[in-house]
Amino acid sequence: MQKARCLECGEALVGRSDKKFCHELCRSSYHNRQNALHSKKINRINAGLRHNRKILMQLIQNHKKKVSRSLLSSLGFNFHLITSVMNQNGHPCYCCYEYAYLQIDDQLLELKQLTEKDYF
């Protein structure tokens, strides 16, 4: 049977069979790196959600109530990043925080700003 090695530095492990690290420094170094990787993924998704929210907010502030899907795409809106889907009179309402859009037809979207009564 092959001897277990430290997940961080690869040094052969001595002691308990379930041991994963040779030293506390290797354990914390390994976990810090893992956490940094997770944070990087989460930060990237959050940045995309903030970008989508900003696009919807600016269009609504400029009184754009109906826009084309291609306009949102051209502004860099990522249709895969939403925070929730609500039911609005039987139609899906795709939310990005307090802003949302409903699909009117293949191309046209209706934008709306949600209020607290939409959530609670």
Residues that bind Zn ion (CB under 5 A): 6, 8-9, 11, 22, 26
To Zn ion, the closest distance from the beta carbon of 16 in angstroms equals 15
Rg (CA), the chain: 24
Residue number, 5 or 51, with CB nearest to Zn ion: 5
Q: How far is the CB of 35 from Zn ion (least distance, A)?
A: 18
Q: How far is the CB of 29 from Zn ion (least distance, A)?
A: 8
User: Which of 15, 90 has the CB closer to Zn ion?
Assistant: 15
Q: What separation in angstroms does the CA of 1 have from each of 13, 22, 26, 111?
A: 13, 19, 24, 63
Task: Compare residues 29 and 78 and give the one whose CB is closer to Zn ion.
Answer: 29
Nearer to Zn ion, 22 or 93 (CB): 22
State the nearest-atom distance from the C-beta of 4 to Zn ion, in Å: 11
